A and B are shown apart, each in its own frame.
Chain A
Amino acid sequence: MSDTTRVNINNRAAETNTFDAIVVGSGISGGWAAKELAEKGLRVLMLERGRPFEHITDYKTANLMKWELPHRGETTQQQRNDYPVIHRGWAANEAVMDYWANEKDNPYIEKKPFTWWRSYQMGGRSILWGRQSYRLSDLDFEANLKEGVGIDWPIRYRDIAPWYDHVEKFAGIAGSKEGISHLPDGAFLPPFPLNLVEKDVASRIKSHYKGERHLIIGRVANLTQAIPDRTGCQYRNRCWEGCPFGGYFSTQSSTLPAAMKTGNLTVRPFSIVTRVLYDKDQKRATGVEVLDAENNNTYTFNSKIVFLCASALNSAWILMNSATEIWPDGLGSSSDELGHNIMDHHYNIGASGDVDGYEDFYVEGRRPTGFYIPRFVNVGNDKREYLRGFGYQGAANRQGWSREVAEMNVGAGLKEALTEPGPWRIGATGFGEILPYHENKITLSKTVKDKWGLPVLEMDAELKENEWKMRKDIQLELKAMLEASGVKNVNTWDGGHAMGHGIHEMGTARMGRDSKTSVLNGNNQVWDALNVFVTDGACMTSSGCQNPSLTYMALTARAAHFAAAGKW
C-alpha cells in the first residue's frame, strides 16, 4: 500500500500528504480545531469519515413545506428496519433520515442497552444538534475532588472562562444574563423571549422558592441578530434540517467557512482514520492512517500535531486501535482508563400539566429554544441523598390539532374546534448528571467487524443507584414546582434511559493531573503522545448536567491555541 500514500483522487484530496496538523472529525469540536489551527497559520488537513455535505445546497428539505414530503415527516417501515437505533427515540424524521449514520454498515454491540446516535457526514452532529449552550462552573470542576468521585479535573473555571468568551462571541449564543454563580453568564446575543405563561410561571417559582430557583430562557446557538457572514434566526424552528439562513451554529455555517478563508485548510471526506501512527523512539505521533470509505484504499498522512475530534466514542476507538504493538490496549491506554468512565446525561423524564386562563393570548413565530431551569439541588445549603444534580428544559404553548377534544367526536364541530388553538400546557424534561464509573466502558470487539472489516465497539455501561435516585427527584421536584405555580392536572412521566440516549456521550479519554489515572493532561494532550490532542466529549472528567457542546468548543479552542504556540 506504500504506493498510495500520495493521494490524487477526485480533486478532493491534498496534493501532498504532509501537514502541520491533522484534525480527525468535522463536527463541533473538529470544526473549531480546524478553524483555530488554520487561523494560527498552520496547514491543516481535516478528515471526515462520511460524505461531503454542502452548506445550504445539501439541506434538501429545508425549504420544502411539510405536505411536499411524501409521508409528511413520518418514517417508513423500511426506514424503521434500516435505522432501528434512531427509532428508539424522537430522532427519526423523514426529512433528516439520511443525515444519520448507516446502521447496517456501522454496527455496534450492546452488552448493556446503549443508544448511539451518529451522523457520519461533513459537519457531523453539528447540523442535527439541539444547540443548547451552557457553561460549566466550579460547582462542576471541583465536584469530583470534593466528593472523592473519579479524579480531579486538571482545570478550573478560570482556566476555561476566557475560552467560553472566545467561542460564544464567534458562535453566537443567545441568552439572558442571570447572575447565577453556578451557571455563569457569557458573551451573549440578546435572549429569545419567554412567552407570557412562561414568564408568569417563572415569577411564581421565584417567589415560591424565595429566589433560589429560576426559570430562564434557554441559552441557544441561534442568532437573535445577524453577525458577520450570517443571517439572523428566522423563527422557523427547523434547524436540524440545516438552516439556509445560517441562523444557528454548525460547522458548515460557522467554523468551516472561517477555516477555509485562511487558505490553510484541506478537507477530505470518506476518510476513516484507522489509527494514529506512533514513533516509539520520539514518543510522538507522526500522522494517521486513513481507510478510504469509498475505494477501500489505505493512505498515510503525516503531521506534527493530531487533533482527535471524532466524537467521544470514536476518538477512543481510534486510540484503542493505535500503537497496539507498544500498548496492547491502544495509544493512551497506559493508565488503564482509555475507554472507561463513559458518561452521558440521563433524561426522558419529567412532568407536564394544564395552565388555566390566558385564552386571550397566543404566540407568533416558532422559537428555536424553550425555557431552562438551572440546577438547584446540592447547591449551597441544599443537600440530597444523591450526588450532583439536574436541570430542566421545557416550554409552554397552546395545544394544536392533535389534542383530544372530549365532547367532539366527528364532524363540523370537531373541525371548528381543532381549527382554533387549544388550552395552554406546560411541560419539561430533566437532564441529569451521570457520575464517572470505571466499569462503565467501551472495548473493541474481537469478533464483530463493520463494513470495512474494522472491529466494532462493545458498549458495557449503565446508570447506577445515584442516577436512579436522582430520577425520582427529577419528577417530584418538577411536579412540585409546576403545582406551586398553579399548573393543574400535573402528570409525571418516565420514558426510561439507556446510556447514550442523551446524545451527550463523554469521558472515554478523561483529562487529569496524573498520567497514572487519566488519558489526557490539562491541555488535552495524550500523556503517552503529547502531540496528540483529544478535545471532544472523550476528554470530560465529569459530566455536569449542562448540555456539553459549548464546553467542547471552549476546550478545543484552548487546546488549539496551546498546540499552535508550540511551547510544549
Chain B
Amino acid sequence: MERRELLKMIALATGGVLIGGELLMSGCKNPPALGGATFSDQDISFLDEVAETILPRTSTPGAKDAGVGRFMTVQVNDCYTKEDQDVFHAGIRKLNDASKEMFNKDFLDATAEERTQLLGQLDKEAKEHQKKKQEKDWQIKDAKSKDPESEGAKEQPLPNHYFTQMKQLTLFGFFTSEKGSKEVLRHVAVPGKYNGALPYKKGDRAWAE
C-alpha cells in the first residue's frame, strides 16, 4: 500500500484531526503531506523551520532567508542515494514525532525555545549514532581487508541519522548561499593577492571561500 493512502486511512481511523486533514487535502493536488515519498510544499516549510532553528536569523540573515529548506530538497532529490533519501523523508516524520513526544505538539507549533531544545537533543542523539556508524564502518572495512568472505565483512552498515543529514545540508546550504556568503561571511570573488599573515581580531568574519 502507498504510504500516502496509509496516512489517509490512519487519518480517517483516528478521526482525521483538522491539521492532518488540511495537509491531506493539499496533498491531493500536489505531493502529499509531511514526509511523503516526494517533497511537498509543507515539507519545504517544515525544513525551513528546522534549518532556521539550527541557524536562526540574528543581526544577520538566517537559514530561512537563504532558502535552505528548498535547497535541502534539491540536494536530497538529486544527490542522495535512495537509501539516504528514504532516511531523510522518514526523518521529517520522526522529527515531528519527537516533538509530539517531548512537547505534545507538532514541531511547527512548538515555540522557538522548544524547537531549539528538541534539535539540541536530536543533535546529541545523531552524533552518538554517527559515531557508532563510523566505528561499524571501520570494522566492516577492516574485516573486508582481512577476509571478504568473513561474517564481519558481510555485516550491513548502519544508515545515516536523519538529523545529521538535515544539519549538514543546513550548514552547507546556508554558508554557500548568496546571503550566507555575502551577508554572514565575507565574500570576495577576485582577491587578486595573498596575505599569509593578515591581522585578525575576534569577531572578524570568516571568508566565504
Contact = CB atoms under 8 A, between A and B. Distances in A.
Contacts of B124: 409
Contacts of A410: 53-54, 116, 119-120, 123, 167
A486 interface: no
Nearest to B123: A409
| Interface hub of B172, B178, B196 (most chain A Cβ within 10 A) | B196
A190 to B, nearest CB: 12
A76 B78 contact: yes
Contacts of B203: 420
Contacts, number: 141
A193 B196 contact: yes
B190 interface: yes
Contact of B80 (A77, A199, A421): A77
Interface in A236-271: 236-237
A401 B195 CA distance: 21
A361 B185 contact: no
B67 to A, nearest CB: 10
A366 B200 CA distance: 17
B15 interface: no
Contact of A419 (B79, B177, B192, B206): B206
A14 B189 CA distance: 41
B201 interface: yes
B196 A363 contact: yes
Interface in A401-436: 401-402, 409-412, 414-416, 418-422
Interface in B159-181: 167, 171-173, 175-178, 181
A556 interface: no
Nearest to B194: A365
Interface residues of B, number: 50
B28 interface: no
Interface stretch (A23-31, A65-73, A95-103, A542-550): A65-73
Contacts of B200: 359-362, 421
A423 B101 CA distance: 38
A324 to B, nearest CB: 39
Given A71-B75, A77-B78, A412-B56, A194 B205 contact: no
A227 interface: no
Contact of A401 (B60, B74, B175, B189): B175
Contacts of B1: none
B194 to A, nearest CB: 4
Dominant SS among interface residues on chain A? loop
A511 to B, nearest CB: 37
Given A409-B124, A410-B123, A419 B184 contact: yes
A364 B191 contact: yes
A83 B28 CA distance: 38
Nearest to A193: B196
A191 to B, nearest CB: 11
| Interface hub of B178, B185, B189, B200 (most chain A Cβ within 10 A) | B200
Nearest to A367: B194
Given A77-B80, A234-B191, A360-B201, A65 B181 contact: yes
Nearest to A244: B190
B178 A418 contact: no
A448 to B, nearest CB: 25
B75 A401 contact: no
Given A76-B78, A409-B123, A411-B116, A365 B199 contact: no
Interface of A: 65-67, 70-78, 192-196, 198-199, 234-237, 359-367, 398, 400-402, 409-412, 414-416, 418-422
13 contacts: A72-B173, A77-B81, A194-B196, A234-B192, A360-B201, A362-B200, A362-B204, A365-B192, A410-B116, A410-B167, A411-B120, A419-B184, A421-B207
